[in-house]
């Protein structure tokens, strides 16, 4: 089995979708842990309901962010984790994890990067009045939503659409595109058949 950890900070709809697709498609993948930096986030219950162990701590419990990530890394190494999947994990990753998982950390972002990086990709695109936004899946580097792009899908902003409606449609695209991109990465590593 290919061992992955999913990192999330919030609602966990992408976590839920990935979990569902992995099961449905019988991928040889085990999610060893949900790693969560927000001990009250709804994603935690979603993981527990699916029998996935949760590692949750706030960064401020540790001396600094590197020490926090080292604690995560110790857990990942203990579990034999091969790849990290960020699904709404709202933190910049440091070299502690980047060096241990070079080209093995992926992220999803609700905009067409390099436009509208950061915490509010959907709101920022909407406020800017662009007619097309979308979803990006990319490898993670030390920047904010930067790193080589794996896949993108555009989403047109409809006339008179509310931001909530747009957000719902973007999430729908995310839930499919993340799984497809995840499979593409596994194939590129030769971990599953092409
Ligand atoms: C998703 O839209 C994801 O793309 C975004 O957080 C949301 C998490 O939703 N990530 C970023 O903005 C990264 N900069 P979820 O918790 O329901 O999966």
Which tens digit of pLDDT belongs to each residue from 26-68? 999 999 999 999 999 999 999 999 999 999 999 999 999 999 9
Whether ligand 1 lies within 6 angstroms of the CB of 37 is answered as no
Residue 2 has pLDDT above 80, yes or no: yes
Whether ligand 1 lies within 6 angstroms of the CB of 8 is answered as yes
pLDDT at 187: 97
pLDDT digits (tens, 9 = 90+) for 134-163: 999 999 999 999 999 999 999 999 999 999
Mutate to test the pocket of ligand 1, among 8, 19, 87 (most ligand atoms within 8 A of CB): 87
Q: What tokens appear for 9 in the block?
A: 């900070």
CA distance to 29, 97, 126, 141, per residue, from 138 (Å): 20, 16, 22, 9
Torsion, Cα 116 85 58 168, to 10 degrees, reads 50
Residue 8 has pLDDT above 80, yes or no: yes
Average pLDDT of the chain is 97
- Tell me the Ramachandran region of residue 20: left when phi exceeds 0, alpha when psi lies from -120 to 50, beta otherwise: alpha
Give the CATH fold of the 2-108+136-149+176-188 domain: Rossmann fold (3.40.50)
Q: What is the mean pLDDT of residues 170-189?
A: 98
What is the Å distance from ligand 1's center to 117 Cα?
11
Of ligand 1's listed atoms, the one at least distance from the Cα of 109 is: 4
Report domain extents, the chain: 2-108+136-149+176-188
Q: Is 109 a catalytic residue?
A: yes
Closest CA to 139 of 93, 173, 176, 172: 93
Residue 194 has pLDDT above 80, yes or no: no
pLDDT digits (tens, 9 = 90+) for 69-105: 999 999 999 999 999 999 999 999 999 999 999 999 9
Q: What tokens appear for 71 in the block?
A: 């604690």
Element (H, E) at 21: helix 13-24
Of ligand 1's listed atoms, the one at least distance from the Cα of 135 is: 4
| Burial (CB count <10 Å: 0-12, 13-18, 19+), residue 128 | exposed
The closest residue, in CA terms, to atom 5 on ligand 1 is: 88
Please give the Cα distance from 122 to 21 (Å, whole number): 24
What is the Å distance from ligand 1's center to 88 Cα?
4
**Beta bridge pairs of residue 106:** 85, 139
């Amino acid at each position: 089995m290919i061992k992955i950890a999913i990192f999330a900070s919030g609602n966990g709809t992408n976590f839920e979708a990935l979990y569902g697709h992995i099961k449905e498609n019988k991928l040889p993948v085990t999610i060893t842990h949900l790693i969560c930096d927000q001990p009250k986030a709804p994603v935690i219950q979603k993981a527990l309901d699916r029998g996935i162990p949760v590692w949750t701590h706030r960064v401020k419990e540790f001396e600094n962010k590197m020490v926090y990530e080292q604690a995560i890394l110790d857990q990942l190494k203990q579990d034999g984790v091969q790849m990290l999947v960020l699904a709404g994990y709202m933190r910049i990753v440091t070299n502690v994890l980047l060096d241990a998982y070079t080209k093995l950390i992926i992220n999803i972002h609700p905009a067409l990067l390099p436009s509208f990086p950061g915490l509010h990709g959907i709101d920022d695109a909407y406020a800017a009045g662009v007619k097309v936004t979308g979803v990006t899946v990319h490898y993670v580097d030390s920047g904010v939503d930067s790193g080589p792009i794996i896949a993108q899908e555009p989403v047109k902003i409809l006339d008179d659409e509310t931001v909530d409606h747009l957000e719902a449609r973007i999430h729908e695209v995310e839930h499919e595109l993340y799984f497809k991109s995840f499979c593409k990465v596994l194939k590129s590593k030769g971990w599953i058949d092409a």
